[in-house]
Amino acid sequence: MAIRLPRHPLATYVSLVVIAGTAATLQSLYALSVDGVDARWWILLVLTLGSGAAVLKIPGVPANFTISDTFTITAAVLFGPAQGTILVALDCLVISSRLWRARLPMRQVLFNATAPAFAMWVTAHVLHVLPPVDPDPAAPIPLLPFGLLAVFTASYFALNTGAIALAIALEKRLSPFAVWRTHFLGLWMTYFGGGVAAGLVFLLTIKTANPFVALVAVLVPIPLVYYAFKHAMGRLDDQLRHLADLNTLYLSTIEALAQAIDAKDHFTHGHIRRVQMYAVRLAREVGVNADAEIKAIEAAALLHDMGKIGVPEYILNKPGKLTAAEYEKVKVHAALGADILSSIKFPYPVVPIVRHHHERWDGRGYPDGLAGTNIPLGARILAVADCFDALTTDRPYRPALSDDAAVAVLLDDRGESYDPVVVDAFIRVFREVAVHEAVPVLPAGTVDAIARTFHAAPAAADPRPAAVYDETAPAFFDAGAALATAHNVDEVGRAVWTCARWMTPASSCVLYLVDGGGDTLGVAFAGGAHAREMADLNIPLGHGLSGWVAANRSSMVNADALLDLAGLAPSLSPLLHSCLSSPVVADGCTLGTLTLYSTKTSPFSDRHGRLLEALAARVALALVRIKSKAA
């Protein structure tokens, strides 16, 4: 048997095995030089090398084996430890030479060549306690030698496969027994088959007049068995490949669906993949090693926001604080996602993780108010990973936080929102995670097309200005007159700012217009406080506060001004805190946004919003008129 060892610092273990195997081989060579070689051993040598060159790969097992075990065990039974050990060493050299040609490191080749030889040398010495056997054919068949042969075969099987299982376990940080039981226990038939064949040869050798005939009669048909078994393994491999293809299709379908839902939100695009990477690494850090649990966390990370398909888009992308009613609608997504996924027969517990990933450690979460360890571990892991990625990416209601600031938030909520053990583990390892954007499962451009569809501007509102009948009416109608005679965008902006500072508690006014490419807002006019600093602002459509207003054609009142001005904040004094923004739309086309900023907190009212919408409609008419004259 030979194994392709993973590249990993296993130097100490591998060195010990290589030294022990080399010593056993050298001692066996010395013994052969002193005692000589039985002539029948050469028959076994030919059969061993012939079968050793024909390697069988058991599907799903990270190891190779050949039927040469039959011949090497027979050599040890008939001729002693030295001749059995040398035969194993030669067999392993044939197999290892193939691995060497595959450019494996020398230490791995040496491990493959020496570990089985050492196992044979140790276990073959068990046969030294065999009592002499009466060669008289009429003598009764002794039972003790066959019992010792069974012990020898079992010991050789355990030591040989155990050495390989330990190497894999060290590399993957798994239990050696778990690796052995999963991947090697099923190979017992090949070893004990070899032991049975060796017992038959042993019996026929001592009970027949011609030992050569006995040896040939028992062993020569074995290659035929090998080819029959190889054919069976080929069919099994085809079936496993088919299952693997189905599994890949299943996972791709899940990921495509998850990416389609993820694409609904400009701000969370790529969120699920990043959360998955954080969650899997965190799971291993807190001791989750079972393959089924890891796969459950991987799938749940991709699908945890599935329920947001039932949350209105204007709520998901609202660039401001949600009302109590809006928050209740958002909270539905955890249970809704679990209900949707419950119809899928997952082979691992995905649904509980999705349902409970918004529960809190103190029991004040949703949907079921679970607390402490009653929350599934996978959900506790996902909650921390989800929170960290949400904090470190731009959202419609706030700019991204730094990693350190996000960690501070997790620490503040440690023991309240999140499991303290999971938070501590995440802080230890999150910087090790190589977060990257995965290659999309969906075809190129599909994700962007979905995003454009979900964020397509709604039908244009009636461009006629709303009626204004209060004390601001004179300023509004003066602005209307000025806009009706404006010759350029700068005059439009000045008319707007003159009206806005009379109508509202605004400190600044910016008229953003969509650029020629249709994907960015640029400042066409800036007036009031910090006008010079804001003159060069550019906001991608759909981003920030003004970008969201333009993309959704929906006004926002008292949103956080930092959503537009985060990059300018250090240079602004006094700082602008709140903003009021309305879309500028004409003939079903978004021209830009009209945004007012204030140094006060929440100074704008719904009435101010209606006034600005009416003014924005006048601005749209003025811009269309100016453009038509220029053409």
pLDDT at res. 195:
75
Q: Which helix (H) or strand (E) holds 460?
A: none
C-alpha–C-alpha distance, residues 40 and 210, integer Å: 11
Comparing C-alpha atoms, which of 473, 471, 470, 500 is closest to residue 619?
500
Is there a domain that residue 369 lies in?
yes
The one-letter code for the residue type at 275 is V
Band (519; pLDDT cuts 50, 70, 90)? confident
Query: Mean of the pLDDT values across residues 167-175?
Result: 77
Model pLDDT for residues 19-40, shown as the tens digit of each residue: 999 999 999 999 888 888 887 7
C-alpha–C-alpha distance, residues 559 and 554, integer Å: 13
Q: Are residues 419 and 477 in the same domain?
A: no
Full-prediction pTM beyond 0.75? no
Is there a domain that residue 438 lies in?
yes
Is there a domain that residue 230 lies in?
no
Query: Mean of the pLDDT values across residues 489-493?
Result: 92
Q: Are residues 183 and 283 in the same domain?
A: no
Bigger pLDDT: 559 or 448? 559
DSSP class of residue 193?
H
DSSP class of residue 342?
T
Comparing C-alpha atoms, which of 369, 301, 371 is closest to residue 341?
301
Band (103; pLDDT cuts 50, 70, 90)? low
Q: CATH number of the domain at 411, please.
A: 1.10.3210.10
C-alpha distances (whole Å) from 42 to each of 38, 113, 376, 391, 431 are: 8, 20, 63, 72, 60
* Structural domain boundaries enclosing 565: 473-630
Q: Are residues 148 and 286 in the same domain?
A: no
Two tokens, residue 62: 């990270």
Q: CATH number of the domain at 564, please.
A: 3.30.450.40
Exposure letters 451-470 (e unless 16+ CB within 10 A, then b): beebbebeeeeeeebeebee
Comparing C-alpha atoms, which of 516, 513, 532, 533 is closest to residue 524?
513
The one-letter code for the residue type at 141 is I
Highest-confidence segment of 72-76, 376-380, 441-445: 376-380
Percent helix, strand, coil in the chain, to 5, is 60, 10, 30
Is there a domain that residue 331 lies in?
yes
Question: What is the pLDDT of the chain when averaged over all its residues?
Answer: 79
Band (217; pLDDT cuts 50, 70, 90)? low
C-alpha–C-alpha distance, residues 95 and 117, integer Å: 13
Residue 420 has pLDDT above 90, yes or no: yes
Query: Mean of the pLDDT values across residues 110-133?
Result: 76
C-alpha–C-alpha distance, residues 6 and 172, integer Å: 9
Two tokens, residue 143: 């039972």
The one-letter code for the residue type at 582 is S
C-alpha–C-alpha distance, residues 258 and 440, integer Å: 11
Is there a domain that residue 76 lies in?
yes
End-of-domain residue from the set 188, 220, 252? 220
Model pLDDT for residues 282-306, shown as the tens digit of each residue: 999 999 988 889 989 998 998 888 8
Bigger pLDDT: 562 or 582? 582
Q: Are residues 167 and 307 in the same domain?
A: no
pLDDT at res. 137:
45
Half-sphere exposure of 586 (CA within 13 A, CB side): 20
Q: Are residues 311 and 201 in the same domain?
A: no
Model pLDDT for residues 243-271, shown as the tens digit of each residue: 777 767 776 777 777 766 666 555 555 78
391 contacts 413 by C-beta, under 8 angstroms: no
Percent of all residues in the chain with a pLDDT value above 90, rounded to a whole number: 25
Q: Are residues 37 and 132 in the same domain?
A: yes
Question: How big is the CA angle at 89 (ends 218 and 19), to the nearest 5 degrees?
Answer: 150
Q: Are residues 477 and 437 in the same domain?
A: no
Model pLDDT for residues 189-212, shown as the tens digit of each residue: 777 777 777 777 666 666 665 656
Q: Are residues 175 and 316 in the same domain?
A: no
C-alpha–C-alpha distance, residues 117 and 93, integer Å: 10
Bigger pLDDT: 141 or 313? 313
Is there a domain that residue 296 lies in?
yes
Is there a domain that residue 437 lies in?
yes
End-of-domain residue from the set 189, 220, 251? 220
Query: Mean of the pLDDT values across residues 172-183?
Result: 78
Q: Which helix (H) or strand (E) holds 570?
A: none
Two tokens, residue 195: 């032991």
The structural domain count of the chain equals 3
pLDDT at res. 354:
94
Band (180; pLDDT cuts 50, 70, 90)? confident
Band (413; pLDDT cuts 50, 70, 90)? very high
Query: Mean of the pLDDT values across residues 475-497?
Result: 85
Band (438; pLDDT cuts 50, 70, 90)? very low
With tokens 């099987």, the residue in question is 157
Instruction: Specify the range with the lowest mean pLDDT, choosing from 44-53, 236-245, 468-477, 596-605.
Output: 468-477
Band (592; pLDDT cuts 50, 70, 90)? very high
Q: CATH number of the domain at 22, please.
A: 1.10.1760.20
Band (219; pLDDT cuts 50, 70, 90)? low
Q: Are residues 100 and 247 in the same domain?
A: no
pLDDT at res. 65:
56
DSSP class of residue 592?
E
Residue 385 has pLDDT above 90, yes or no: yes
Residue 136 has pLDDT above 50, yes or no: no
Residue 64 has pLDDT above 60, yes or no: no
Band (437; pLDDT cuts 50, 70, 90)? very low
Residue 523 has pLDDT above 60, yes or no: yes
Q: Are residues 195 and 249 in the same domain?
A: no
Residue 384 has pLDDT above 90, yes or no: yes
With tokens 């065990």, the residue in question is 73
Model pLDDT for residues 272-285, shown as the tens digit of each residue: 888 989 999 999 99
Q: Are residues 52 and 181 in the same domain?
A: yes
Is there a domain that residue 462 lies in?
no
Instruction: Specify the range with the lowest mean pLDDT, choosing from 52-56, 155-159, 510-514.
Output: 52-56
352 contacts 394 by C-beta, under 8 angstroms: no
Band (425; pLDDT cuts 50, 70, 90)? very high
End-of-domain residue from the set 454, 485, 519? 454
Strands (DSSP E) found in 11-116: 56-57, 64-65
Q: Which helix (H) or strand (E) holds 505?
A: none
Q: Which helix (H) or strand (E) holds 518?
A: none
11 contacts 107 by C-beta, under 8 angstroms: yes
Neighbour count for residue 364 (Cβ, 10 Å): 11
pLDDT at res. 595:
95
SS3 384: helix
Q: Are residues 367 and 283 in the same domain?
A: yes
pLDDT at res. 158:
87
